[in-house]
Amino acid sequence: MDALQVISSATQIVSSMVGAIGALEQASRNLDEAPKRIRTLEEFICDLENLTRRIKQKHVYKIHDPQLDRKLQSLNGLIERLRPNISKAQEDRVQE
């Protein structure tokens, strides 16, 4: 699997996760499930950041490739969109 395929797959997964945040917030009302789901999302984000870092290191000679660069930027943008949603879900969980 080449770098573009990996980034495309990761971007699709992150897009799904962004869409699932609403469901996560609702699930946060479930005292048993919410902490585990939030932790899973945090671990997922960490894994994606590590993946992005490894791809940049492994394919440093391809970083000038506009398509790969756009995919990496898109993935990083989605990761940044997830962070405040996770924080909000944690805050909602604490307030209950």
Q: Give the pLDDT score at 6.
A: 81
Number of domains the chain is built from: 1
Instruction: Tell me the C-alpha distance between 31 and 27, whole Å.
Output: 8
Residue 90 belongs to what domain range?
3-95
Query: Is residue 6 within 8 Å of residue 55, measured between CB atoms?
Result: yes
Instruction: Tell me the C-alpha distance between 46 and 82, whole Å.
Output: 11
Per-residue pLDDT of 23-53, as tens digits, reads 777 666 666 677 787 888 888 888 888 888 8
Q: Give the pLDDT score at 62.
A: 62
